[in-house]
Amino acid sequence: MLRIYGNRALKTLPGDATRPTSARVREALFNIWQGRVVDCRWLDLCTGSGAMGAEALCRGAAEVVGIELSAEAYAVTRENWQKVAQSDQTISLFRGDVVKQLSRLHGQPFDCIYFDPPYTSELYAPVLERVVSLNLLQPTGEIAVEHSPAAWEPAAIAGLELVRQKQYGTSHLAFYAATPGS
Protein backbone atom coordinates (compact mmCIF):
# COMPACT_ATOMS: atom_id res chain seq x y z
CA MET A 1 0.00 0.00 0.00
CA LEU A 2 1.02 3.53 -0.78
CA ARG A 3 -0.35 6.65 0.92
CA ILE A 4 -0.93 9.98 -0.78
CA TYR A 5 -2.35 13.41 0.07
CA GLY A 6 -5.07 13.24 2.69
CA ASN A 7 -3.69 9.90 3.98
CA ARG A 8 -5.47 8.02 1.19
CA ALA A 9 -4.25 4.47 0.60
CA LEU A 10 -3.59 3.35 -2.96
CA LYS A 11 -3.06 -0.08 -4.39
CA THR A 12 0.47 -0.82 -5.64
CA LEU A 13 1.97 -3.43 -7.88
CA PRO A 14 3.85 -6.33 -6.31
CA GLY A 15 7.52 -6.87 -7.12
CA ASP A 16 9.92 -4.62 -8.96
CA ALA A 17 8.01 -4.23 -12.23
CA THR A 18 7.43 -0.55 -11.47
CA ARG A 19 9.36 1.98 -9.43
CA PRO A 20 6.90 4.14 -7.52
CA THR A 21 7.79 7.78 -7.16
CA SER A 22 8.99 8.25 -3.59
CA ALA A 23 6.89 10.21 -1.09
CA ARG A 24 9.71 12.77 -0.88
CA VAL A 25 9.68 13.41 -4.65
CA ARG A 26 5.85 13.50 -4.77
CA GLU A 27 5.71 16.03 -1.92
CA ALA A 28 8.44 18.17 -3.47
CA LEU A 29 6.78 18.20 -6.90
CA PHE A 30 3.41 19.18 -5.48
CA ASN A 31 5.04 21.91 -3.39
CA ILE A 32 6.70 23.29 -6.53
CA TRP A 33 3.47 23.04 -8.54
CA GLN A 34 1.08 24.00 -5.74
CA GLY A 35 -0.27 27.00 -7.66
CA ARG A 36 -0.75 24.99 -10.85
CA VAL A 37 -2.71 21.90 -9.84
CA VAL A 38 -6.18 23.16 -8.88
CA ASP A 39 -8.44 22.99 -11.98
CA CYS A 40 -5.53 21.94 -14.20
CA ARG A 41 -5.35 19.39 -17.01
CA TRP A 42 -2.75 16.84 -15.82
CA LEU A 43 -1.01 14.31 -18.08
CA ASP A 44 0.69 11.34 -16.42
CA LEU A 45 3.06 9.47 -18.74
CA CYS A 46 4.18 5.95 -17.73
CA THR A 47 1.69 5.95 -14.85
CA GLY A 48 2.90 2.89 -12.91
CA SER A 49 0.48 2.66 -9.97
CA GLY A 50 -1.05 6.03 -10.86
CA ALA A 51 0.05 7.67 -7.61
CA MET A 52 1.00 10.98 -9.23
CA GLY A 53 -2.29 11.30 -11.11
CA ALA A 54 -4.21 10.24 -7.99
CA GLU A 55 -2.40 12.89 -5.97
CA ALA A 56 -3.24 15.49 -8.64
CA LEU A 57 -6.91 14.49 -8.38
CA CYS A 58 -6.81 14.76 -4.58
CA ARG A 59 -5.29 18.22 -4.89
CA GLY A 60 -8.02 19.47 -7.24
CA ALA A 61 -6.98 18.75 -10.83
CA ALA A 62 -10.00 19.06 -13.13
CA GLU A 63 -8.80 16.33 -15.50
CA VAL A 64 -6.17 13.62 -15.32
CA VAL A 65 -5.11 11.65 -18.37
CA GLY A 66 -2.59 8.80 -18.29
CA ILE A 67 -0.72 6.43 -20.56
CA GLU A 68 0.68 3.11 -19.35
CA LEU A 69 2.17 0.18 -21.26
CA SER A 70 1.79 -2.60 -18.67
CA ALA A 71 -1.65 -4.23 -18.44
CA GLU A 72 -1.18 -4.83 -14.71
CA ALA A 73 -0.14 -1.24 -14.01
CA TYR A 74 -2.96 0.05 -16.20
CA ALA A 75 -5.51 -1.89 -14.12
CA VAL A 76 -4.03 -0.65 -10.82
CA THR A 77 -3.96 2.95 -12.07
CA ARG A 78 -7.58 2.77 -13.22
CA GLU A 79 -8.65 1.37 -9.82
CA ASN A 80 -6.67 4.01 -7.91
CA TRP A 81 -7.97 6.94 -9.97
CA GLN A 82 -11.58 5.78 -9.76
CA LYS A 83 -11.17 5.48 -6.00
CA VAL A 84 -10.11 9.12 -5.52
CA ALA A 85 -11.80 11.00 -8.40
CA GLN A 86 -14.74 13.23 -7.53
CA SER A 87 -17.85 13.48 -9.72
CA ASP A 88 -16.70 16.80 -11.23
CA GLN A 89 -13.27 15.43 -12.24
CA THR A 90 -12.51 13.66 -15.51
CA ILE A 91 -10.13 10.71 -15.80
CA SER A 92 -8.93 9.00 -18.97
CA LEU A 93 -6.39 6.23 -19.27
CA PHE A 94 -4.82 4.71 -22.38
CA ARG A 95 -2.88 1.47 -22.56
CA GLY A 96 0.03 1.03 -24.92
CA ASP A 97 3.30 2.48 -26.12
CA VAL A 98 3.55 6.03 -24.78
CA VAL A 99 5.03 7.52 -27.98
CA LYS A 100 2.23 6.06 -30.12
CA GLN A 101 -0.59 6.76 -27.64
CA LEU A 102 0.33 10.45 -27.37
CA SER A 103 -1.14 11.01 -30.84
CA ARG A 104 -4.62 10.43 -29.32
CA LEU A 105 -4.15 13.73 -27.48
CA HIS A 106 -3.02 15.87 -30.43
CA GLY A 107 -3.80 19.55 -29.89
CA GLN A 108 -5.23 19.03 -26.38
CA PRO A 109 -2.65 20.91 -24.29
CA PHE A 110 -2.03 20.20 -20.60
CA ASP A 111 -1.01 22.48 -17.76
CA CYS A 112 1.09 19.85 -15.96
CA ILE A 113 2.78 16.84 -17.51
CA TYR A 114 4.51 14.29 -15.31
CA PHE A 115 6.80 11.87 -17.15
CA ASP A 116 8.42 9.02 -15.22
CA PRO A 117 9.59 6.27 -17.58
CA PRO A 118 11.72 3.32 -16.57
CA TYR A 119 15.05 4.98 -15.88
CA THR A 120 16.98 2.89 -18.40
CA SER A 121 14.46 3.33 -21.22
CA GLU A 122 15.15 5.18 -24.42
CA LEU A 123 11.90 7.14 -24.09
CA TYR A 124 13.08 10.52 -22.82
CA ALA A 125 13.86 12.42 -26.03
CA PRO A 126 11.19 10.72 -28.22
CA VAL A 127 8.41 11.48 -25.73
CA LEU A 128 9.49 15.08 -25.09
CA GLU A 129 9.81 15.72 -28.83
CA ARG A 130 6.36 14.18 -29.39
CA VAL A 131 4.83 16.38 -26.68
CA VAL A 132 6.13 19.41 -28.58
CA SER A 133 5.13 18.23 -32.06
CA LEU A 134 1.59 17.36 -30.91
CA ASN A 135 1.18 20.68 -29.04
CA LEU A 136 0.47 18.98 -25.72
CA LEU A 137 1.87 21.65 -23.38
CA GLN A 138 0.02 24.84 -22.54
CA PRO A 139 2.14 27.97 -23.17
CA THR A 140 2.31 28.48 -19.39
CA GLY A 141 2.53 24.75 -18.55
CA GLU A 142 5.43 22.65 -17.35
CA ILE A 143 6.71 19.13 -17.77
CA ALA A 144 8.44 17.38 -14.88
CA VAL A 145 10.68 14.49 -15.91
CA GLU A 146 11.80 12.06 -13.22
CA HIS A 147 15.12 10.42 -14.02
CA SER A 148 18.37 9.02 -12.79
CA PRO A 149 21.44 10.89 -14.04
CA ALA A 150 23.17 7.55 -14.51
CA ALA A 151 20.63 6.74 -17.24
CA TRP A 152 19.67 10.14 -18.74
CA GLU A 153 20.78 13.73 -18.53
CA PRO A 154 18.37 16.56 -19.42
CA ALA A 155 19.12 17.73 -22.92
CA ALA A 156 18.06 20.49 -25.25
CA ILE A 157 14.71 19.71 -26.87
CA ALA A 158 13.45 21.95 -29.69
CA GLY A 159 10.40 23.86 -28.44
CA LEU A 160 11.21 23.28 -24.75
CA GLU A 161 13.36 25.16 -22.29
CA LEU A 162 14.94 23.47 -19.27
CA VAL A 163 13.85 25.80 -16.44
CA ARG A 164 15.09 24.02 -13.30
CA GLN A 165 16.45 20.78 -11.93
CA LYS A 166 16.05 19.25 -8.49
CA GLN A 167 17.67 16.26 -6.79
CA TYR A 168 16.05 14.03 -4.16
CA GLY A 169 18.43 11.22 -3.26
CA THR A 170 18.93 9.14 -6.41
CA SER A 171 15.83 10.60 -8.10
CA HIS A 172 16.11 13.80 -10.09
CA LEU A 173 13.44 16.04 -11.60
CA ALA A 174 14.02 18.12 -14.70
CA PHE A 175 11.40 20.81 -15.40
CA TYR A 176 10.72 21.98 -18.94
CA ALA A 177 8.50 24.83 -20.15
CA ALA A 178 7.49 25.76 -23.66
CA THR A 179 10.09 27.93 -25.36
CA PRO A 180 8.66 31.46 -25.56
CA GLY A 181 7.18 32.06 -29.00
CA SER A 182 7.04 28.39 -29.95
pLDDT tens track for 24-59: 999 999 999 999 999 999 999 999 989 999 999 999
The Cα–Cα gap between 124 and 145 comes to: 8
Q: How many residues belong to the chain?
A: 182
Q: Is 135 left (phi over 0), alpha (psi -120 to 50) or beta?
A: left
Tell me the domains of the chain and their CATH numbers. Answer: 2-13+23-178 (3.40.50.150)
**pLDDT band for position 132 (50/70/90)?**
very high
**Residue 124 predicted with pLDDT over 50:** yes
Question: Mean pLDDT over residues 20-25, rounded?
Answer: 83
Mean pLDDT of the chain: 91
- Cα angle: 65, vertex 130, 35; to 5 degrees: 50
**Residue 74 predicted with pLDDT over 90:** yes
- Cα angle: 14, vertex 43, 131; to 5 degrees: 115
Alpha carbons within 13 A on the beta-carbon side of 106:
4
Which amino acid appears at position 87 of this protein? Answer: S
b/e per residue 91-101 (b: at least 16 CB within 10 A): bebbbeebeeb
